[in-house]
Amino acid sequence: QQQVKQSPQSLIVQKGGIPIINCAYENTAFDYFPWYQQFPGKGPALLIAIRPDVSEKKEGRFTISFNKSAKQFSLHIMDSQPGDSATYFCAASPPPLTQGGSEKLVFGKGTKLTVNP
């Protein structure tokens, strides 16, 4: 059962464009939604994350929009650059257990972004 659905599978934009990647989740217990960027041969790197108490979060050129009622969230990359070409993963997790520690992340299947010069 896939708990986080990500689309599109691949995306090609021109430099300066604004690619948008969408994710939908099913588990209403999820309350942490990070986005990871992964380059070939590397591990995923945390880009930006949001919790459901806000509808939007910006960090540099990256923006997360969150719609709690629709159980959807999306990543926007402003003024995209060829160096942004990578695979992007959305993820979700429930709150930590009372004993503490991190909860497991449930990932989408990824979106391969290509930004042409």
Name the site residues for another protein (rule: CB under 8 A).
4, 6, 32, 34, 36, 41-46, 49, 51, 89, 91, 93, 96, 99-110
**Minimum distance from residue 34 beta carbon to another protein (Å):** 8
- Count the Cβ atoms, other than its own, within 10 Å of residue 42: 10
Instruction: Specify the residue, 20 or 49, whose C-beta has the smaller distance to another protein.
Output: 49
Angle among Cα 14, 17, 20 to the nearest 5 degrees reads 115
Residues in Cβ contact with 56 at an 8 Å cutoff, skipping those fewer than 6 apart: 50, 63, 64, 65, 66
**Minimum distance from residue 100 beta carbon to another protein (Å):** 4
Instruction: Specify the residue, 12 or 46, whose C-beta has the smaller distance to another protein.
Output: 46
C-alpha gyration radius of the chain: 14
Instruction: Specify the residue, 64 or 91, whose C-beta has the smaller distance to another protein.
Output: 91
**Minimum distance from residue 15 beta carbon to another protein (Å):** 26
CA 61 to chain centroid? 14
